[in-house]
Amino acid sequence: MSAEKPLEIQNARLAEILDDLLATVRGFIRGHSISHEEYRRAVAFLCEVGEKGEMPLLLDVLLESTVDQVESARRAGTESSVEGPFYLPDMPIMKSPCVLPHRADEPGDVLLFSGTVRSTDGAPLAGAMLDLWQADANGAYSHFNIPETEARHNLRARVIADDEGKFEVGTWVPSPYQIPKAGPTGALLTATGRHPWRPAHLHIRLTHEGCETLTTQIFFENDPWIDSDVVGAVKQSLIVRLERRDDRAELRKQNIARPYCALSYDFVLAPSMAKAA
């Protein structure tokens, strides 16, 4: 039997949500005495957002973190965060320890990212998969604003943890970046006195058989935008301190020619609803 909900149940939920949404919006219009001119300007703005292909961007900026808060409220384990618009499936599979695909002259500081993936009962999750993606030291993402000819899957990979659930990944420290601001979304931010910056972060999607998929981000202490992320995705438990390593013996051990940064973070995955049942 299909696990999908019968069509009539899906339609009933859609109808309920739509009715509630319309009631809320109509109440908002009445409460703020929205004029016909303001209404038409709003319609024109939404049309421009669609024409510029910015609807996912606008909704991610304004609403995705709230959806994440609602969904994560019932989840145990490591806190989730928003996925954002730069995720791509089916990236190269690598086994830990490894170094993410990168350019020969990859800019920025080297980062050694390590930790363990466990279940909520503390057991290590052997073979857990960490799907990793991030911006580079200039705030650019491969497949979006880094040409594929430079590095097809730059700073992206699916990494398999070892038999003890441990992982060690070599990458580069990302930088903060501004979301696209030349279009209507940027104009809205400017008109409302908001900045377009996201603090530096790593994206991780973690999967393991019998566990709920976890999509989250790791942020860094002392980032200038850590308290004012334009998409509101920062959570205190996801903020870490980058440790700078410059001991010569350790550099030789890691086979790294210059000082680098390190961070360790342990992830906890909740059992899937089917397994819990």
- We report the CATH number of the domain holding residue 233 as 2.60.130.10
Domain membership of residue 26 (yes or no) is no
Supply the range of the domain harboring residue 253.
Answer: 93-276
Asked whether 136 and 99 are in contact (CB, 8 A), the reply is no
Q: Does some domain include residue 123? A: yes
pLDDT for 124-156, tens place per residue? 999 999 999 999 999 999 998 887 777 789 999
Residuewise pLDDT in 10s, the chain (277 residues): 445 666 666 688 889 999 999 999 999 999 999 999 999 999 999 999 999 999 999 999 999 999 999 988 888 999 999 999 899 999 999 999 999 999 999 999 999 999 999 999 999 999 999 999 999 999 999 998 887 777 789 999 999 999 999 999 999 999 999 999 999 999 999 999 999 999 999 999 999 999 999 999 999 999 999 999 999 999 999 999 999 988 778 777 777 778 889 999 999 999 987 555 4
Domain membership of residue 8 (yes or no) is: no
Domain assignment present for residue 5? The answer is: no
SS3 112: strand
Question: What's the CA gap between 67 and 63, in Å, rounded?
Answer: 7
Query: Do the domain assignments include residue 33?
Result: no
The domain total for the chain is 1
Q: Is 105 a member of any domain? A: yes
Facing residues of 203 across strands? 133, 217
**Residue 14 covered by a domain:** no
Distance, CA of 269 to CA of 114 (rounded, Å) = 16
CA distance 204 to 195: 25
Query: Residue 13: inside a domain, yes or no?
Result: no
User: What does the buried/exposed string (b/e) look like for 171-205 if buried means 16 or more CB atoms within 10 Å of the residue's CB?
Assistant: bbbbbbbebeeebbbbebbeeeeeebbbbbbbbbb
